[in-house]
Amino acid sequence: MEENLLLKDMLLVKIYEEHQKERPDMEKNVSFKELEIDKDIYNVTLESLQNDGFIKGVRFAREGVGSKIGISFINSMTITKDGISYLKNISRR
């Protein structure tokens, strides 16, 4: 469980860092390939971050009704105020 939390935190930091750039390119710089994360774990982690309200703008294509995510569309992904607040809180630990 703790490993998943660390992955969520790491991914949220990467999204935040990319979002701060003058010309963010989420698809290039925050992809599962770029971050060397298993695709399925990456997709589930993105969905969790979005469900928690820490990011927004991710669209998911599932492989079938109720099945796992096949593709995450992240070109419009941004971090939310809640996501930034969460990062500030974990940096104080």
> 24-39, pLDDT tens digit by residue?
999 999 999 999 999 9
Give the domain ranges of the chain: 2-91
CA-to-CA distance for 82 and 36, rounded, in angstroms?
Answer: 26
Distance CA 82, CA 53 (A): 7
- CATH number listed for the domain at residues 2-91: 1.10.10.10
Average pLDDT for 9-18: 96
Tokens of 44: 């589930």
Find the mean pLDDT for residues 3-18: 88
pLDDT tens for each residue of 47-62: 999 999 999 999 999 9
Please tell me the pTM assigned to this model: 0.88
